[in-house]
């Protein structure tokens, strides 16, 4: 039983996850995870081993961490940059085999740092899906200059194409900083006009918005709802985010209905 259980309006309500929370793991230790997940494991859906960090850790440690996450029903996956490195080197098959052997249940397909044709992008999504991975794709570029060249309509088209190819979710690039990329201006504020167009042209339940900053998390919760899917959440912000989802922090108090 949780503390202050009497606050639960519906006593039969399942204390499940409110929307997807995807956390960024930049190299946490197995020992840390064992304690950390006791506190917030119930609120996490996906964990991304950021960019290529899983390739500089011992295989047994990576396996151990994935097993720890699985105990809490959390799917771990390597960052999209690692996929891009392997794909660009012609090692996509080896990448899939290694991911399966390590125990990853999900994969991220992206082209944030390299260019991949729409044909190749579709084919790798379908191939990974055929291997029974949960597929997350990412729309956006790591370079601010390159990302600015992508129009809102192009982002929307790519989102819908990825979903048609079999992607389970599409991540809207926001990077770890949450600034100057995708839906964010150089201060980390939401570009409201682009946001409105995007959410009215795509299946919102299939999108994961990278939102590392609190003001961004608040905006998405207030404008989409407590069940909005949010990513690139720092491990030490998971509990904070959950209070925002549940109206237990001033920013959303009295403004969400759960």
Q: Domain map of the chain by residue range?
A: 18-245
Residue 42 DSSP one-character state: G
End-to-end CA distance of the chain: give it in Å, rounded: 18
Q: What is the pLDDT along the chain (258 residues), one digit of tens a residue?
A: 788 888 876 644 455 678 999 999 999 999 999 999 999 999 999 999 999 999 999 999 999 999 999 999 999 999 999 999 999 999 999 999 999 999 999 999 999 999 999 999 999 999 999 999 999 999 999 999 999 999 999 999 999 999 999 999 999 999 889 999 999 999 999 999 999 999 999 999 999 999 999 999 999 999 999 999 999 999 999 999 999 999 999 999 999 987
pTM greater than 0.85? yes
Asked if residues 212 and 233 have their Cβ atoms less than 8 Å apart, the reply is: yes
State the Cα–Cα distance between residues 34 and 41, nearest whole angstrom.
10
pLDDT for 11 = 47
**pLDDT at position 10, please?**
60
- What architecture is domain 18-245? Alpha-Beta Barrel (3.20)
pLDDT of residue 12: 44
How far, in whole angstroms, is CA 249 from its chain's centroid?
Answer: 23
Other C-beta atoms lying within 10 Å of the C-beta of residue 88: 14
């Amino acid at each position: 039983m949780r503390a202050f259980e009497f606050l639960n309006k519906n006593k039969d309500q399942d204390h499940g996850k409110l929307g997807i929370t995807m956390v960024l793991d930049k190299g946490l230790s197995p020992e840390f995870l064992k304690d950390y997940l006791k506190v917030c494991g119930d609120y996490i859906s996906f964990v991304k081993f950021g960019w290529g960090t899983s390739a500089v850790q011992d295989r047994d440690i990576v396996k151990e961490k994935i097993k720890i996450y699985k105990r809490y029903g959390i799917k771990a996956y390597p960052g999209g940059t690692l996929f891009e490195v392997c794909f660009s080197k012609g090692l996509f098959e080896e990448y899939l085999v290694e991911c399966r052997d390590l125990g990853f249940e999900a994969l991220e397909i992206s082209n944030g740092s390299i260019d991949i044709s729409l044909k190749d992008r579709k084919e790798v999504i379908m191939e990974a899906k055929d291997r029974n991975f949960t597929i997350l794709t990412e729309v956006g570029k790591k370079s601010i200059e390159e990302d600015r060249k992508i129009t809102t309509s192009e982002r929307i088209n790519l989102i819908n194409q990825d979903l048609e190819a079999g992607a389970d979710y599409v991540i809207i690039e926001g990077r770890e900083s949450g600034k100057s990329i995708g839906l964010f201006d150089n201060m980390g504020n939401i570009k409201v006009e682009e946001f409105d167009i995007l959410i009215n042209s795509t299946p919102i339940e299939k999108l994961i918005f990278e939102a590392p900053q609190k003001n961004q998390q608040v905006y998405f919760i207030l404008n989409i709802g407590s069940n909005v899917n949010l990513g690139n959440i720092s491990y030490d912000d998971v509990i904070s985010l959950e209070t925002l989802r549940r109206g237990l922090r001033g920013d959303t108090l009295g403004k969400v209905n759960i």
